[in-house]
Amino acid sequence: MAELTPAQIFEEYKAQPPLMRETFAKKYVGIEVDWSVRLADAWQAGKNIRIAFHVDALGLHTVGGEVPRAQYPQLEHLQAREPLRIRGRIRSVSTLWIELDIAELLFCIEAVAA
């Protein structure tokens, strides 16, 4: 798993000339990550749930992806700002969003213990 933090990725991305950012972002695609996050929002996407997580105190930068609804029924009961841990691979990076292929979500006690 990469030691990269979302903050480092966003900082490096924004340091690039605007027309070079798309090409630069490709260097992150496929990197495995394991990050502590806070739930920002979630919504239905067919049989899946799209989820967004805050990765900074201001809630400006987000990380997100999609998980099977049947695999994570506890998402229905989570409140915004609850801590979780996500493990997955980076799919894409943009100015305010990192899209992940989410492999695993760990909830509250699991997130702290893991």
55-94, pLDDT tens digit by residue? 887 778 999 999 999 999 989 899 999 999 999 999 999 9
- The H-or-E segment that residue 22 falls in is helix 21-25
DSSP secondary structure letter of residue 80: T
CB 34 within 8 A of CB 1: yes
What three-state secondary structure class fits 106? strand
Fold (topology level) of 6-113:
OB fold (Dihydrolipoamide Acetyltransferase, E2P) (2.40.50)
Per-residue pLDDT, 109: 55
Best CA proximity match to 107, nearest among 80, 75, 61: 75
- Domain coordinates of the chain in residue numbers? 6-113
Best CA proximity match to 57, nearest among 36, 86, 87, 88: 36
Q: Is the pLDDT of residue 112 over 70?
A: no
Per-residue pLDDT, 60: 82
pLDDT digits (tens, 9 = 90+) for 11-34: 999 999 999 999 999 999 999 999
What three-state secondary structure class fits 35? strand
